[in-house]
Homo-oligomer: A and B are copies of this chain.
Amino acid sequence: MRIGRQTVKLDNPPVIIETSSIVGVKEGEGPLRSAFDKVLTDDTLGEKSWEKSESMLQKQTMLLALEKATLAQGDIDYILAGDLLNQCVGAHYSVRDFDIPFLGLYGACSTMTESMSIGSMLVGGGFANHVMCLTSSHFCSSEKQFRNPLEYGGQRTPSAQWTVTGAGCAILASKGSGPRITHVTTGKVIDKGVTDISNMGAAMAPAAIDTLLAHFNDTGIKPDEYDMIVTGDLGVIGSDILVELMMEEGFDIRENHRDCGKMIYDIEKQDVHAGGSGCGCCGSVFCGYIYRELKRHNLKKILVMATGALMNPMVVEQGESIPAVAHAVTIEN
């Protein structure tokens, strides 16, 4: 049921029956290590290109989710997946080995909640019993594609974020036990003129604010009803902008705002500058740490909002700014 310009309330809220998460070496050295299903010992995953490594990462994460949920491929009605790579090759080269109907998404780093948003409506609308929501990112494939190949050895600016090597997969179901997705707030594409390809946090914050305001206005939910309002990968700079500008709009989220990009690394010690980013940042932190805390009932009601900078380096070189989008889902135990 639509309850506002951007929000749907699910009359039959789908259950997140299982998740899986796999992260890279560096992410496994961070504070959330114990919350991931698997930490890689080799970020190549034995593949000969970074694109193939990322694809293998998605594939292993998807297989792990099926195994943990004791479901077969034939039980899954749709895979909703995407990633940062051109033509989403991370997703396509992993799902081609699966016998499951596929709907490809591009939402940049917002993909985890974009897939959960559409997935919730497909399950909630009675069109599917089980949907897999899947995404990934890989530091090495992302640097190569969006900035410079690692071998170039470029200096990183202080506002730069570190793309998470990681993947997350969540299985939504029409029945079963677990936390449920009760509301879906879909973002608009917002562009406030940021042109710095090393400051994704600033590019994404306006989209996060826009969606968050829409969410509160549409639902009437107050910020303090949430145990956690978690953004995907605003990092240090984007988070500061979000919290400050939300305050100006009359919403105090200082107490309960968290950001996956700040949580996944020890920002001081791990030399990640403004924090983590990438589809796999929200993907792995939600499917790893946050889902675990929901299952342990340490969290009762949360808002998860992944944010995506829809950045194409060539178009930015043509003088364009970087649009962004943020999609939010309410999850309740």
Residues of A within 8 A of B (CB): 1-2, 5-6, 8, 48-49, 51-52, 74, 77-78, 82, 85-89, 92-93, 95-96, 98-108, 114, 117-118, 121-122, 124-129, 186-191, 310-312, 314-315, 318, 320, 323, 325, 327
Task: Report whether B104 and A51 are in contact in the complex, using a CB–CB cutoff of 8 Å.
Answer: no
Task: Report whether A117 and B102 are in contact in the complex, using a CB–CB cutoff of 8 Å.
Answer: no
Task: Report whether A86 and B88 are in contact in the complex, using a CB–CB cutoff of 8 Å.
Answer: no
Cα of A98 to Cα of B95 in the assembled complex, Å: 33
Task: Report whether A318 and B51 are in contact in the complex, using a CB–CB cutoff of 8 Å.
Answer: yes
Instruction: Indicate whether A102 sits within 8 Å of B2 (C-beta atoms), given known contacts A125-B127, A315-B93.
Output: no
Residue of B nearest to A78 (CB): B186
Instruction: Tell me, rounded to whole Å, the shortest Cβ–Cβ distance linking A329 to chain B.
Output: 13
Chain B residues near A320: list those with CB within 8 A.
52, 93
Cα of A150 to Cα of B114 in the assembled complex, Å: 36
Task: Report whether B125 and A114 are in contact in the complex, using a CB–CB cutoff of 8 Å.
Answer: no
Task: Report whether B118 and A323 are in contact in the complex, using a CB–CB cutoff of 8 Å.
Answer: no
Task: Report whether A96 and B127 are in contact in the complex, using a CB–CB cutoff of 8 Å.
Answer: no
Cα of A99 to Cα of B190 in the assembled complex, Å: 9
Chain B residues near A101: list those with CB within 8 A.
5-6, 186-188
Task: Report whether B318 and A98 are in contact in the complex, using a CB–CB cutoff of 8 Å.
Answer: no
Chain B residues near A52: list those with CB within 8 A.
315, 318, 320
Cα of A314 to Cα of B122 in the assembled complex, Å: 34
